[in-house]
A and B are shown apart, each in its own frame.
Chain A
Amino acid sequence: MLEIKNLHAVVEGEDIEILKGVDLTINKGEIHAIMGPNGSGKSTLSKVVAGHPEYEVTKGEILFEGEDITELDADERAHLGLFLAFQYPVEVPGITNKTLLRESYNTIARSNGKEELDPLEFEDYLKSKLEIIDMKDSFLERSINTGFSGGEKKKNEVFQMAVLNPKLAFMDETDSGLDIDALKIVADGINKIAGGENAIVLVTHYQRLLNYVKPDYVHVMIDGKFVKSGDRKLALELEDQGYDWLENKTMVNGEAQ
């Protein structure tokens, strides 16, 4: 589904390379976790895949279902079925969650030649997704993320993801800043959305979330590259030993040397 080949990226207009040759393949239905210390480039990778204008790809390519999307705008990538759950969801005062989601849903449907939902149908559809994050109807009428608590913002990202049902979602530190109850709700939500053909990439610092959402693969990013990949056990190892033992290692044939 997603194939990233030798991806290099810089902040637009600057020389400093943040991604230094990333390779990643994700297939339908898989759950991947990307872990790594602060500043390793995890969040950047999510944003570059989503098409953030702040970054420039200097080398390599991103293929989504075989199509090169490296030059596409963020909205065009969203139409293809790519979703990013933001680490810091943005406030947009005066526009309700419901308005945004209806606009999003219908725009994406239209660009895929699918039927749009009228306001009443959409309302029913939205309400059916609310239980996933354990929120009340009034949540729909609130302005996007405006005055939301940290936990509500993260739940809103999961909710939006459930509504838009993307083929591939990058979830950028959706677990950070959540108390244990909120974490469980968010993890539950992710588990409900995952499965089937949808693929999910969890970008996280901590192993904590992985107790609730079981990834098929775990990748460790250090200094703009993956230095080690493995299964869920790798996450547990990291929890024991930290990232130090992986620093300065490079990857050859999928194994740290």
Chain B
Amino acid sequence: MSETEALESMIGEEYKYGFSTDVEYEEFPKGLNEDIIRELSARKEEPEWMLEFRLKAYRGWKEMVEPDWFNATYEKPKFDTLQYYSAPKNKPKLDSLDDVDPKIRETYEKLGIPLEEQKALAGVAVDAVFDSVSVFTSFKEKLAEAGVIFCSISEAIQNHPELVKKYMGSVVPARDNFYAALNSAVFSDGSFCYVPKDTICPMELSTYFRINNMNSGQFERTLIIAEDNSHVSYLEGCTAPMYDEHQLHAAVVELVALENAEIKYSTIQNWYAGDEDGKGGIYNFVTKRGACRGKNSKISWTQLETGSAVTLKYPSVILQGDNSVGEFYSVAVTNMRQQADTGTKMIHLGKNTKSTIISKGISAGNSDNSYRGEVKISKKADGARNYSVCDSMLIGQTCGAHTFPYISSENPTASVEHEASTSRVGEEQIFYLMQRGISEQDAISMIVNGFVKEVLKELPLEFATEANALLNVKLEGSVG
């Protein structure tokens, strides 16, 4: 499959990833208690410290109250009827692609994510997570040659316990917040990546998340560590079948960048968004945080959020090392009844730290789109600088856009700059372009693409075309 074909097959009219795959599951009873967690940990043959981490998180979670400060209204997930572990029965030991259930392989083919290395997008290694478990990771050997470890988090717990133990929970503590605590207690799988000192990761890494099972929540955990003078670029993609019930996706992503290291983390999120009346769709409640621990380190989040019924997500950077850099580039698109409350936090601790926030929200239909961001400059962060731009675009008359910026600075030498704008895709703009011979649909996508260009150019080249097309499909027919 050529790159273009692969990209084209990922893009469809309507939501074309809404199919489900009929596989046999190894399932747990619904609901959550310590026994379930012990059983989960035992089934995964985890070491004692991992179980302790989970139990500590669970005990913390039980005491916590589900937050409700978001600018979104939704029926709360029913935690006692949720299934916390769901794995395809024929789960192989991940050694060979031949061991992967053909039905699951087919699923990824259909999604345009071929797992066979010879069919892959040029230069992209994939970790495929199906419901709760990683089913396959490609190009492991090639990466290993460069010293890069890229595998499922379960494997990492077995094979690289010292790294996992050292870093897991060091950026997002087990009891950080309600959903992170829940994830820490029950996370089932996810991706792990370790880039050693003085290494530029030779490929784009990507994880492809797929929720298939109707009643299961997905709780994956991603941990990326970039040692001194290393560089890695990582992309995650997400889809799910169309079910009438809401499904919960509560992931945790932790990034650690040491001296002079750079991590670029990109997301193309296209979970099922529910139907026009708001029935079904994914609750995307995710905690993503990166720590720039070393001097001159850099973490950059780029996200294109187009799916999910409700998105609550604030990828953040803790700028600890002097001269470290944090970036957040986001396009959040909502249509129909979708609600998104998303943004970032930039916490400046080190000297001369620098952060950039570029957020573009597009609302159409009856959706609601909020930017929520915090910039915090601590006492010691001399010379810290932040620049934020939050632009909103409204398509039609029945959608909403909101901006909630929180800025606090305890250091007089710091500079913080915030700009915000709201615009409406107007009849005049469309008429202007149509008068120049451009069709109405092309005019709309031109206007929208122009609006988000600044952000999409940050995506890895391999995925930029996909992102653009996804955006156009998403907004098709939204002006009429």
Mark the stretch among B95-103, B302-310, B439-447 that contacts chain A.
B439-447
| Contact for A75 among B427, B428, B434, B454, CB less than 8 A | B434
Q: How large is the interface on B (under 10, 10 to 19, 20 to 34, 35 or more residues)?
A: 20 to 34
User: Is A13's CB within 8 Å of the partner chain B?
Assistant: no
| Contact for A100 among B433, B439, B453, CB less than 8 A | B433
| Contact for B433 among A83, A88, A92, CB less than 8 A | A92
Residue of chain A at shortest CB distance from B429: A90
Instruction: Give the Cβ gap from B97 to chain A, nearest Cβ, in Å.
Output: 41
For B311-330 the 0/1 string (1 means CB < 8 A from A) is 00000000000000000000
User: Is A50's CB within 8 Å of the partner chain B?
Assistant: yes
| Contact for B440 among A73, A93, A107, CB less than 8 A | A73
Residue of chain B at shortest CB distance from A101: B436
Instruction: Assess whether A93 is in contact with B432, with CB atoms less than 8 Å apart.
Output: no
Q: Which residues of A contact B451 (CB under 8 A)?
A: 93-94
Instruction: Assess whether B432 is in contact with A89, with CB atoms less than 8 Å apart.
Output: yes
- For chain A, residues 76 to 102, give those with C-beta under 8 angstroms from any C-beta of chain B: 77-79, 83-84, 86, 88-95, 100-101
Instruction: Assess whether B450 is in contact with A86, with CB atoms less than 8 Å apart.
Output: no
Also in contact, A92 and B446, with CB within 8 A (given A52-B431, A53-B427, A54-B427): yes
Instruction: Assess whether A78 is in contact with B435, with CB atoms less than 8 Å apart.
Output: yes
Chain A CB within 10 A, most for which of B438, B440, B449, B452: B438
User: Is A103's CB within 8 Å of the partner chain B?
Assistant: yes
Residue of chain A at shortest CB distance from B447: A92
User: Is B437's CB within 8 Å of the partner chain A?
Assistant: yes
Also in contact, A93 and B434, with CB within 8 A (given A75-B439, A75-B440): no
Instruction: Assess whether B432 is in contact with A86, with CB atoms less than 8 Å apart.
Output: yes
Q: Which residues of B contact A54 (CB under 8 A)?
A: 427
* Size of interface on A: residues with Cβ below 8 Å to B: 32
Q: Which residues of B contact A75 (CB under 8 A)?
A: 434-435, 437-440
CA distance A77 to B438 in the complex (A): 11
Instruction: Assess whether A143 is in contact with B450, with CB atoms less than 8 Å apart.
Output: yes
For B446-464 the 0/1 string (1 means CB < 8 A from A) is 1101111110000000000
Instruction: Assess whether A95 is in contact with B432, with CB atoms less than 8 Å apart.
Output: no
CA distance A163 to B4 in the complex (A): 33
Residue of chain B at shortest CB distance from A74: B434
Instruction: Give the Cβ gap from A32 to chain B, nearest Cβ, in Å.
Output: 19
Q: Which residues of B contact A35 (CB under 8 A)?
A: none
Residue of chain A at shortest CB distance from B428: A90
Chain B CB within 10 A, most for which of A74, A91, A143: A74
Q: Which residues of A contact B429 (CB under 8 A)?
A: 90-92
CA distance A100 to B450 in the complex (A): 11
Instruction: Assess whether B435 is in contact with A74, with CB atoms less than 8 Å apart.
Output: yes
CA distance A70 to B454 in the complex (A): 40
Also in contact, A50 and B435, with CB within 8 A (given A90-B428, A90-B429, A94-B454): yes
User: Is A18's CB within 8 Å of the partner chain B?
Assistant: no
Instruction: Give the Cβ gap from A164 to chain B, nearest Cβ, in Å.
Output: 7
User: Is A108's CB within 8 Å of the partner chain B?
Assistant: yes
Q: Which residues of A contact B442 (CB under 8 A)?
A: 103
Instruction: Give the Cβ gap from A147 to chain B, nearest Cβ, in Å.
Output: 13
Q: Which residues of A contact B454 (CB under 8 A)?
A: 94
Instruction: Assess whether B432 is in contact with A78, with CB atoms less than 8 Å apart.
Output: no
| Contact for A95 among B427, B437, B449, CB less than 8 A | B449
Which residues of A approach B to under 8 Å, CB–CB? 50-54, 73-75, 77-79, 83-84, 86, 88-95, 100-101, 103-104, 107-108, 111, 143, 160, 164
Query: 9 A-B contacts, Cβ less than 8 Å apart?
Result: A75-B439, A78-B436, A88-B428, A92-B433, A94-B452, A95-B446, A100-B433, A103-B437, A103-B446
Extra contacts, 19 of them, besides A75-B435, A78-B436 (Cβ < 8 A), are: A50-B435, A52-B431, A54-B427, A73-B434, A74-B431, A78-B437, A89-B432, A92-B429, A94-B450, A94-B451, A94-B454, A95-B447, A95-B453, A103-B442, A107-B437, A143-B450, A160-B436, A164-B436, A164-B437
Which residues of B approach A to under 8 Å, CB–CB? 426-429, 431-440, 442, 446-447, 449-454
